[in-house]
Amino acid sequence: MGVGGLIVIGGDGSFHGAHFLEQEHGVRVIGVPGTIDNDLFGTDYTIGYHTAVQTALNAVDRLRDTGASHERIFVIEVMGRHAGHIALEVALAGGAEDVLIPEDPRPLSEVIDNVQAGLDRGKLSSIVIVAEGYPGGANAVSEAITQATGQESRVSILGHIQRGGSPVAQDRVLASVLGEGAVLALLEGRTGVMVGQHGHDLTYTPLEATWTQRKDVLRSLYACVRRLSV
Ligand SMILES: Nc1ncnc2c1ncn2[C@@H]1O[C@H](COP(=O)(O)OP(=O)(O)O)[C@@H](O)[C@H]1O
Ligand SMILES: O=P(O)(O)OC[C@H]1O[C@](O)(COP(=O)(O)O)[C@@H](O)[C@@H]1O
């Protein structure tokens, strides 16, 4: 085909295509992780993730104003069909009362107890962050909270605004570092790997491992959200 090398930016769908191009046509390929979900094995962070978190957090800050002034519970749904990375960071940074993620479909009674405990202590508003992939999404969570506590709650589904806009500095830096790493990898003769970053180190993970292995959410963050939401 006359293609010396190909750098593919994307997630597991794009990497599947890149893998088959390499296997079936001998094209040298390097993957660069790009997804707001941050759910790719082989890198601490993916390009787009930090921007999506910041965008969602800005929305949470705005919704908090109505929550406080109107004394309401807000159930805010963030993206993440299969992953709770965005939800966890938004919940922690946004001071949410609780967070629900697909990796841990715990019973809603726990969230209700948490919200009720806040109400009993005189809290006038609460924020619950729900990742899109949690069963039933924000609507189911809101209905259950209202039914159990008798308090009005409002749902806000942030949707596709989380996947666009001007990237935050962390994403620009990450994209620059990984982009350079991908070009250098090709020049060094590497192929069939995704360039990622662990701490300050660049790493190269076989493309197949990025979809056969799973990156877990940071359990320490999850525990921290729940400890701080008292
Ligand atoms: N198994 C596959 N083989 C070849 N190409 C694929 C495969 N899966 C996805 N693709 C291609 O990769 C593109 C991006 O995949 P998609 O799943 O939409 O996004 P992402 O790369 O973020 O996972 C698709 O539009 C499709 O053309
Ligand atoms: O409705 P769409 O366009 O399929 O997008 C929603 C899905 O894409 C994601 O935003 C991930 O997108 P990217 O991997 O392209 O960044 C998921 O969180 C969500 O489930």
Q: Is 198 helix (H, G, I), strand (E, B) or coil?
A: strand
Q: How many domains does the chain have?
A: 2
- Res 22: pLDDT: 94
Q: Is residue 194 part of a domain?
A: yes
- Res 1: pLDDT: 63
pLDDT in tens, the chain (230 residues): 678 899 999 999 999 999 999 999 999 999 999 999 999 999 999 999 999 999 999 999 999 999 888 889 999 999 999 999 999 999 999 999 999 999 998 999 999 999 999 889 988 899 999 999 999 999 999 999 999 999 889 999 999 999 999 999 999 999 999 999 999 999 999 999 999 999 999 999 999 999 999 999 999 998 898 888 76
35 CB near ligand 1 (under 6 Å): yes
Q: How far apart are CA 80 and CA 215, in angstroms?
A: 14
Other CB atoms within a 10 A radius of the CB of residue 8 amount to 18
Are 212 and 42 in contact by the 8 Å Cβ rule? The answer is: no
Kindly state whether residues 150 and 206 are assigned to the same domain: no
Kindly state whether residues 90 and 149 are assigned to the same domain: yes
Kindly state whether residues 136 and 175 are assigned to the same domain: no
pLDDT tens for 87-110 read 999 999 999 999 999 999 899 999
- Res 230: pLDDT: 66
Kindly state whether residues 180 and 104 are assigned to the same domain: no
Rg (the chain; Cα; Å): 20
Q: How far apart are CA 60 and CA 54, in angstroms?
A: 10
The protein residue with its alpha carbon nearest to ligand 2, atom 15, reads: 35
Kindly state whether residues 140 and 159 are assigned to the same domain: yes
Q: Is residue 14 part of a domain?
A: yes
Within 6 Å (CB) of ligand 2, which residues are found? 11, 35-37, 48, 79-81, 132, 163
Kindly state whether residues 159 and 60 are assigned to the same domain: yes
Q: Which amino acid is at 217?
A: V
ipTM computed for the complex: 0.89
**Host domain of residue 195:** 6-48+167-212
Kindly state whether residues 63 and 159 are assigned to the same domain: yes
167 CB near ligand 1 (under 6 Å): no
7, 8, 12, 14: which to mutate for ligand 1, most atoms within 8 A of CB?
A: 14
Question: What is the distance in A from the centroid of ligand 2 to the CA of 137?
Answer: 15
